[in-house]
Each structure stands twice: as structure tokens, then as C-alpha cells.
Amino acid sequence: MKLQVYPLSLPGVMLIRSARTSDARGFFAETYVKRDFAQAGMCTDFIQDNQSFSVSAGTVRGLHFQIPPLQQAKLIRVLRGKIFDVVVDLRRSSANYGEHSNVELSAEGGEQLFVPAGFAHGFCTLVGETEVFYKVDAIYSAAHDAGVNWLDPAFGIPWPVDTSKAILSDKDKALPTMNTLPAYFE
């Protein structure tokens, strides 16, 4: 079994584990095979790869998304370190609108998270020197780049960092709350 897929609490959000073949050298894993993902219901044409590096534990990135027509599905994995990963359903027609799901991803565990378009995504590093790699199915566009505040009380996200010690960009500190967002995703 090459690909194990575990649905999370929000429809369409999937935790993925790829089989690893190990020997004295370490391991080998096929982290993305389009055919296998399509068979598991994730028919996404990824066109851009991104990577982030965070120096310190407690670094928060997010909650980000792109608005239509350049909304993005994402496939996230950790290359080094460990993160507390969060997705928030922003689809107004969804029975789960405004709800979040969170999961821990680590380089050691090799898990990946599939996030469909219509969700905000963010994470908090749990250890220093963490590298996160993700694929997206729409090219980055500054004109379509958006986000929602990571501390919005409407979400009730149990962030694993003292909010006064969290490290964020100025842009992420200024993100609006969900109740002020237009209906980007119906």
C-alpha cells in the first residue's frame, strides 16, 4: 500500500501517509504520484512548489488563502522539524463554514496534508529550524493573496504558543477577522 489517506473533520481535507522503504542508508518514499492522488479523490494539477524556513519555534505563518479566480489547493509536508498545522473552512455554503481542523506534521512522521481551495491555511512551528514544503495548483498572485487573523476567537484554535511570544510577520499580525471577510467562496 503506497498511499494511506485519512479524512480529517472538514470534508476534503486529508492527512496522507506515503509508504517508506527503509534500509541501512535511510528511507525512500514517493511523496506525490498524480495517479495515486487522483485514485484517492484528490484530482489536482499542482503547478508551483513553495518552501518556507522558520528559524524559531513559535513562528506562526497564516492563516492564508488566495481568492478566486486564483484560489489554491495545497499539499503540505515538513522537510525538517515539526508544525501544528491548521485549516479553516471559508466556504459560505459549507455546513462547516468557520470551523477548523488541526494536525501535527513532522519530517520524522512524513505526513502530508491536502487542503482544497476554499480553506485558509496556516501553521505554528513546534521546533526551531523548521522547513515546510508545499505544492499549489494556482500560481501565486499578490492581487489575489488574502488571509484571516490567526487569533480570531470565532475559530477557537488551540494554538500551541503563548500569543505574546508568537513570531509573526507584520502582514499576518494585521489580517482581518472572519466576520469582516467578503464571501470569497460560496
Establish if 1 belongs to a structural domain. Answer: no
* Catalytic choice (134, 140, 144, 184): 134
- How far apart CA 131 and CA 125 sit, in angstroms, is 9
pLDDT reported for residue 186: 85
pLDDT digits (tens, 9 = 90+) for 59-69: 999 999 999 99
Interval 11-52: pLDDT, tens: 999 999 999 999 999 999 999 999 999 999 999 999 999 999
- Domain assignment present for residue 185? The answer is no
pLDDT of 1 > 90? The answer is: no
Q: Which of 6, 32, 64, 184 is catalytic?
A: 64
Give the pLDDT confidence of 61-91 residue by residue, as tens digits: 999 999 999 999 999 999 999 999 999 999 9
184 flagged as catalytic: no
Residue 69 resides in a domain: yes
Domain around 104: 44-180
**Pairing of the two strands 60-66 and 119-125:** antiparallel
Q: Looking at residue 50, which CATH number applies to its domain?
A: 2.60.120.10
pTM: 0.95
Q: Specify whether 121 is catalytic.
A: no
Is 9 contained in some domain?
no
Kindly state the percentage of the chain with pLDDT values over 90. Answer: 95
pLDDT at 2: 80
Give the pLDDT score at 48. Answer: 97
Q: What radius of gyration, in Å, describes the C-alpha atoms of the chain?
A: 16
Question: Domain total for the chain?
Answer: 1
Q: Which one-letter DSSP state was computed for residue 81?
A: S
